[in-house]
A and B are shown apart, each in its own frame.
Chain A
């Protein structure tokens, strides 16, 4: 019988795993350089962590992998983590709340059902969360961090899109929608259905205002100032949000980052309260994030501002070119021991590892061509024969001599 892989999952082959670790390593190094600390949260969480108001949309909650745990007789479910940020916020509330500033990062898988099974239902993301700071600089730092990672991975042509959750909420409120309707309209926008706005019973003017705002796209902070003029009569409630967006955009512009403001470019998550940023390469979204000042208090923590960003590892794997892989510098050695010299062969491999070489014990199937040296171990003298890529041979009587020869 053919054992089949679960629909909607993927295996990572050795080659893919190398890419995976390269991206993960690049991300880790960048985070550590920026002063972030790594955390890891469990795969299994309580579902209610995610059902609280203002976290995930009903559309997304309808696709989580939830089930009753072995002690779930109360009817409350557990879930395979559908999102990376909420568990980190929980961890912060649970054990780091004393810290005024927490800069955390993680590489984690998330699980969301996808009906066709063509896309993967288990996705990997590299995320960074900055807890405790509300300034636009914090948002800019996260953007700079991921842009740095993408640059090091030699992925270019990435487009940055900015929006603002606070701005959108105020606009919806101004259209005279009840809080119930607002939530629904916002869910639709978040689920990417801006076209379905037409079916929400808004009058023509309201609809036009909303869709013209959502349709606005611009490239500079001057554009935001223009937007400000456009909304002048209604400005009161919008002022702080526009200022916020102007600051973030202005700083990014000064740093030479290429971005576009696109108010409708908000998707997937509902916990955002401020600037939302998304990264696209062509039509593929490779990452995104934003400010979520209300999340930690909503989850029962203190009133703590925060923002975060994530890169989608699976997408990046398709974009990183293998030739940009950095090969490890240590020489590779194949140790071929005769049957009676197996003990010496294994001791030699261990010694070579200690000395910093990549050494393999020959199992008969390794291709010699991939190695810098082959090292034959015999039962009688000369005990060791070293052969380099140019097929030049050297003899040695003991391991010390082997190491000396390799050093030359």
Chain B
């Protein structure tokens, strides 16, 4: 029994730290590009992805990624119409997607779903199969970020300048959305759809004060996120709190510590 429990913890730690490492640089982009609300909207649609995945019997992570990407594309198309402000649009889409997901899941017959686990995460229920996908996906996303780093940074600084300088802005914007969608699929197990955005933005926001370059900020965000995950799992293990919210609470404490600490030098 003790050995099995230890397995669970190791899976949880490895999966959690992997997601945190990947979420670091992507979270930095979310903060720089002011996409926090956008990330939240994508995350809310993940539940709908789960429902559709069960309905059509496809891999649930894949279903989540597809659903997020579809939502992102829909959002971009509607933004172009300019008939409603983006934040209103995001609000409509986020809560509609979440509610559609909840309704769809309740309509699925003969399927028992632990809704709590999807909403708030269930780190300790990670299976070796899940872990394999998280690791593979994590390596793929990290490689893509490394490869796309310069153009992504260029479009983040200024899209018009980048376009004039010959960068295909629309293509890279889409790539960034796709990468965020993949991280959401991975992070859902960890902290649940309602808390995913915090894993993206809190470590990155905390890392800002420690960093002098974009690269430093991305790396510090990964490190701080990993610390939050380990701390959250420890809290959950020793004090028996829910794992997902514990991770977020740890991220908050890190953010506050760094934010309130006096600056070492001017």
Q: Do A and B come from one complex?
A: no
Residues of B within 8 A of A (CB): none
Residues of A within 8 A of B (CB): none
